[in-house]
Structure 1
Amino acid sequence: MGDALVFFFAAVLTLPIPFIFVFYLFTRKWSKHKWKAIHRTTSLSAPVFILSVHLLLLVLFEQSFFAYILIFLFLLLGISLIVQYKIHEEVRLRRVFKAFWRISFLFFTFFYLGLTLYGLFERLFS
């Protein structure tokens, strides 16, 4: 049982794009609302992409960038707080965290795709 769980998590971290589609289909059936399913999928797959980017950086450059990823996440959270304050002149932490989580999903999805393409080109042409 433990090996199956480890295999599942390894598969999810190495292939997060198919995980998103499968998870979206499950949440779509469960919630019956398209936008709720999309928001749940993005909020639950953001940590998957963060860890996947960390693993890709580990494989490609053979060193850990986890501290830099944490610093980047704290900067994103700070920017989200500042933007919320400037727009609404009131800080609602739930709204700030929701915006921060969605933006980090977008950033790390693009980082993952970029690092995957970089890794493919590096392996093909070197």
Structure 2
Amino acid sequence: MIQAFGIMLAMIVTFPWLATISLYIIIKLMYKNTKRALHLSVAYSTLLYIVSVMIMLQQLFNHSFFGLIIILLLSGLMCSIIIQWRLTDEIILKKAWRIFWRASFVFFLFCHLILSIIGIIITIINI
């Protein structure tokens, strides 16, 4: 049972897009609203993409990038808050967090795709 859970967790972290699609389908069936399903599946799977990119970077370059990713995330949140403050003269933290989290999803999805391509190329070259 524990081994099956570990395998499932490893698969979710390795292929976060499967988790995103699965979450989207499940949430869409629950709420019958495609927009809400999209937003919730993105919100719930962003952390998977962050962890996946962190693991891929460690595997490809044999170096931990945890601190750099934390600094990048905090800088992104700071930029989101500053932009909101400049545009509206007030800060609504929930709105700033939502924008930051969605932008993080797009960024880490892109990083995941690029690192996957780099990993495939490195594997082909080393054969």
1:123 shift after superposition: 1.5
Counterpart residue type for residue 43 of structure 1 = A
- 1:69-108 aligned within 5 A: 69-108=69-108
RMSD of the TM alignment (CA)? 0.9
Any idea what the Cα deviations from partners look like across 1:35-73, whole Å, max 9, x if unmatched? 000000000000000000001011101111010000000
> What does 1:47-86 correspond to in 2, within 5 Å?
47-86=47-86
1:13 matched residue in structure 2 = 13
Structure 2 counterpart of 1:22, which letter?
S
Q: Residue in 2 aligned with 1:31? A: 31
| Higher mean C-alpha deviation, range 43-52 or range 8-17 | 8-17
Q: 3-state SS of the aligned residue for 1:58?
A: helix
TM-score (norm 2): 0.96
Q: Which amino acid in 2 is paired with 1:20?
A: T
Distance 1:17 1:117 in 2: 15
| Deviation beyond 2 Å, 4+ runs, structure 1 | none
Gaps of 5+ in 2: none
Q: Deviations over 1:59-89 (max 9, x none)?
A: 1011110100000000000000011101111
Unaligned 5+ segments in structure 1 are none
Query: Aligned AA for 1:96?
Result: A
Secondary structure of 2:43's counterpart equals helix
Looking at structure 1, the residues matched to 124 and 3 of structure 2 have their Cα atoms a distance apart, in angstroms, of 32
Where does residue 3 of structure 1 map in the other structure? 3
CA distance in 2, matches of 1:31, 1:83: 32
State the shift of 1:125 in Å.
Answer: 2.5
Count of residues paired in the alignment: 126
